[in-house]
Amino acid sequence: MTKVKLEYIWLDGYTPEANLRSKTKIVDASEFHGDVAQCPYWSFDGSSTQQAEGNFSDCILKPVRVVRDVQRNNAWLVMCEVLNPDRTPHPSNKRALFDDATDFWFGFEQEYILVQENGKPLGFPDHGYPAPQGMYYCSVGTDNVAGREIVEEHLDVCLGAGIEITGINAEVMLGQWEFQVIGKGAKKAADDLWIARYLLYRITESYGVKVEFHPKPVKGDWNGSGLHTNFSTKEMREIGGEEKIKSICEAFGKVHKEHIAVYGSANDQRLTGLHETQSIEKFSYGVSDRGASIRIPVSMPENNWKGYLEDRRPASNADPYQIVSRIVTTVNDSNAFKAVATEEEVMA
């Protein structure tokens, strides 16, 4: 009988950022057809991942998202939440801390750096630095890009898995790249970004290259790496309005510190007010302003203030579960579209 490989993926208990872990479960093909409900709960040794003590070490894996694993024969990737033995959410399980928001759309712009064996970004010379920033962004040619074969393979694998990856590009620093993932629904969007990260890590194993998500791995006059997060609700996309959109931006300013607290470690090294960032100590928003905390795309006022907003503060190493949870809370607390919702309720 044909067997199917299920690669169970989860986040460990390390801080300040969790690491991805995975292991393979083999099941009969006749019993599995790609439905997450068909994936059984499984356990792992939490004492080896900083999620349990050795004298009571079992943690439970709860499957929450399944996609194709096109790199292996008869295989699927299974994103999981971590539970305690009594099936309650483990303290490290940030996904379980918020209710899903299916009308929210999130688009993540994941920047990262490919690092060679000498610890420098791919393409950097062994001694000194390459030419200054300028020619690397969205560039082409041996002198201007490094690692394209890795990036292209990652793109194909993500598309084959069914992840809604919408684009890739070389970034401002040599060896720095970006991919974009969109998701309809807060939890699905975050699930898919974690799976895309997992695939990037696994692909680079074959190249002897490290993936670096630190927001400022190269000090000096070089851009850092962010996780710009675009978001919208149904009301933002279909109703909009300048006053309501700006009231959402104002609501973000009132809880700036709460957002920064979950937007990744070492982010102060990146959010300096330079290199297309606002200072971590300040909050601002503006139309087409890449130096603001929240950028209002120029397409929004041109479209009667309907569309999405971009939060430019998250660091490249931030946990997307915590990002979407915080954004959903702030948008809902803003009450920008409360009157609309009430009217709909009355009509219903």
Give yes or no for residue 232 having a pLDDT over 60: yes
Averaged pLDDT of the chain: 94
pLDDT, position 224: 95
Q: How far apart are CA 243 and CA 199, in angstroms?
A: 41
Query: Which structure tokens are listed for 197?
Result: 């990260």
> How confident is residue 55, by pLDDT bands cut at 50, 70 and 90?
confident
pLDDT, position 31: 77
Q: Which comes out higher in pLDDT, residue 105 or 55?
A: 105
Nearest to 174 by CA among 105, 223, 240, 207: 223
Percent of all residues in the chain with a pLDDT value above 90, rounded to a whole number:
90
Contact between 60 and 84 (Cβ < 8 Å): yes
| Partners of 110 in beta bridges | 179, 227
What pLDDT digit, counting tens, does each position of 276-304 carry?
899 999 999 999 999 999 999 999 999 99
Ordered domains of the chain (ranges, CATH): 3-97 (3.10.20.70), 105-340 (3.30.590.10)
What pLDDT digit, counting tens, does each position of 118-137 carry?
999 999 999 889 999 999 99
Arithmetic mean of pLDDT, 200-204: 98
Give yes or no for residue 343 having a pLDDT over 70: no
Arithmetic mean of pLDDT, 207-223: 94
pLDDT, position 115: 97
